[in-house]
Structure 1
Amino acid sequence: MPTDPTIARIWRGRTRREGADAYERYIRAEGIPLLERTALGVQLFREDRDDETWFTAISYWADLEGMTAFTKGEPTEVHHLVNDPEMLIELPERIEIHRILIDLQGLR
């Protein structure tokens, strides 16, 4: 029986608009597969603005212990991809951890 997610781990990063397509390809190839192998679910969002593009990745976890096993330590620490320093405007300093209270989309 599948486990229901109780926690969402949210990462946000931004690129310059002209580098957004390249970063999207990069995060799809290098970042998302790591989450797909271990999280209960993952979503990637993109918001194009005038001069920059924001990316948001949300992964869903059964509990804090599962998330900690994935991060091999503190789940709120950001684990940057190798090319993030060159591709992102600035390196994100934090990860958000949210308890899922209501899920009307059937994720739980």
Structure 2
Amino acid sequence: MIARIWEGRTKLEHLEAYTEFMKIRAIPDYKKTDGFIKLTFMSSIHNELACFKLITFWENFEVIKNFAGSDIEKAKYYAEDKDFLIDFPEKVAHYEVFADE
């Protein structure tokens, strides 16, 4: 299993709206993708910013292409993200999961 990790930030005032956007738009998109297993979506507040971490779990590296395209290291964004995010990290991190209990 592969964990794909993305991090992003919004203004604190966009915390609830971005969380709802992720629930309505992004999470269903992940769930319908072949090879998707599960996800963990987290938020915290640091220095008056809402910080998000999204960890998605996939069967293997190859199936991540079903969601991200051929360059799986490149972060995927939705058009609506421009209304919320402060910056747009270009890359995501991938880790091979060797234990999941």
- The residue identity in structure 2 corresponding to 1:99 is E
How many matched pairs? 99
**Which of residues 3, 6, 25 is equivalent to 1:8?**
3
Instruction: Give the corresponding residue for 1:84.
Output: 81
Which secondary structure state, in structure 2, belongs to the residue aligned with residue 74 of structure 1? coil
Q: Which runs of 5+ in 2 are unaligned?
A: none
Q: Deviations over 1:58-100 (max 9, x none)?
A: 1111111111122221111111111112211111221111111
**Which of residues 29, 40, 43 is equivalent to 1:43?**
40
Q: Which runs of 4+ in 1 moved over 2 A?
A: none
Separation in structure 1 between the aligned mates of residue 14 and residue 68 of structure 2, nearest angstrom: 27
Q: How much does 1:102 deviate? A: 2.1
Which secondary structure state, in structure 2, belongs to the residue aligned with residue 94 of structure 1? coil
Which secondary structure state, in structure 2, belongs to the residue aligned with residue 58 of structure 1? strand
Instruction: Give the corresponding residue for 1:26.
Output: 21
Separation in structure 1 between the aligned mates of residue 45 and residue 23 of structure 2, nearest angstrom: 17
Q: TM-score, normalised by structure 1?
A: 0.84
Q: TM-score, normalised by structure 2?
A: 0.89
Higher strand share: 2
**Which of residues 12, 17, 37 is equivalent to 1:17?**
12
Instruction: Give the corresponding residue for 2:91.
Output: 94
Higher-Rg member (1/2): 1
Q: Percent identity?
A: 25
Separation in structure 2 between the aligned mates of residue 33 and residue 27 of structure 1, nearest angstrom: 9
CA RMSD of aligned residues (A): 1.2
